Amino acid sequence: MPRQKIRTAVLISGRGSNMIALAKAAQNPDYPADILLVISNRPGAPGLEKARNSGLATATIDHTMFNTRCAFEEKLHLTLQGAGIELICCAGFMRILSPWFVRKWPDRILNIHPSLLPKYKGLVDTHKRALEAGDPEHGCTVHYVTDEVDGGAILAQSRIPVLPDDTAESLADRLIEKEHALYAAVLSDIAAQTGSGI
């Protein structure tokens, strides 16, 4: 009997390019994860329409409609549970998850960050910061989400050289293809190692 695929949700806030890359990878019959749900905290996120056009189920949980972060995360948690989700991938999800939420999903939340962690943690300007520091290379990191922002165990990294004429925009444009490939590969590895029934 073939092993069940890991039931996976992707959390987004924007265009959802990494989410689409994961969904495309998951179309392979041998891929060990199944993208069952895409959730955005922003109703107008372009990634929601992309997800629907790809045949994915979507949900919007607008964080501005909740009085507290706790209330928002309780709704997020219940939505994920209700869909039978086993693994969460943050892909451009611009919300910092609380220790309460992370403890509900131990070692079951992945994130991709556009820097070579532990450099340039946080939500803003990683490409600009790498250029301003004069770094010879830049990259992206897939890691587990923990209580510490961008501080969880590093699962894999991909690197690109910083070119003399690079801008923050050109660096981001060159890096995004690396992000897509890296995230899909890491999700495959984690899902395969985990098996069903996390």
CA 82 to chain centre: 20
Query: Read out DSSP for the chain?
Result: -PPPPEEEEEEESS--HHHHHHHHHHTSTT-SEEEEEEEESSTT-HHHHHHHHTT--EEE--GGGSSSHHHHHHHHHHHHHHTT--EEEESS--SPPPHHHHHHSTT-EEEEESS-TTSS-SSS-HHHHHHHTT-SEEEEEEEE--SSTT-SPEEEEEEEEPPTT--HHHHHHHHHHHHHHHHHHHHHHHHHHH-S--
User: Among 63, 113, 138, 143, which one carries the catalytic annotation?
Assistant: 113
Contact 77, 55 (CB under 8 A): no
Beta partners for 59?
39
Known active-site residue 113: yes
Q: Which residues contact 123 (CB under 8 A, 6 or more apart)?
A: 94, 96
Residues known to be catalytic: 113
